[in-house]
Amino acid sequence: MLTIKPRPRSLAKFRAATSEAAALLRTLANEDRLSLLCQLTQGESCVSDLAEKTSIMQPTLSQQLGVLREQGLVATRRDGKRIFYSISDPRALALLRTLYGLY
């Protein structure tokens, strides 16, 4: 049977954890954001490179990168005109690793 042994914890903490986890999943649960993050698992990348690799339209790209920034999943670093993105959230990376293993 497919089960997981529970770790004891309070109901309130369980609810809070579920809520946080759902928020993280919501952020990952968009095809554009997911492929951006997949690209970023292989190292930092600037916006124009991401645009080329993912063929996402520029405004959409910028909007979705904005979501990833707001949620704290990515960090940015400017070098001249370019802005480089990289994954900054270990939880997101852990989920991406699991997904890599599954697909």
First to last CA, the chain: 22
Strands 74-79 and 45-46, bridge-based pairing: unpaired
In whole angstroms, how close is the CB of 34 to DNA at the nearest point? 10
1: buried, middle or exposed (CB in 10 Å: 19+, 13-18, 0-12)? Answer: exposed
* 88 touches a second copy (CB under 8 A): yes
103 binds, among a second copy, DNA, none (CB under 5 to 8 A by kind): a second copy
Number of H helices, E strands in the chain: 5, 3
71 binds, among a second copy, DNA, none (CB under 5 to 8 A by kind): none
With CB under 7 A as the contact rule, the residue among 60, 72, 77, 98 that binds DNA is 60
Chain residues binding a second copy by CB under 8 A are 1-7, 14-15, 17-22, 25-26, 28-31, 34-35, 38, 41-44, 86-88, 90-91, 93-103
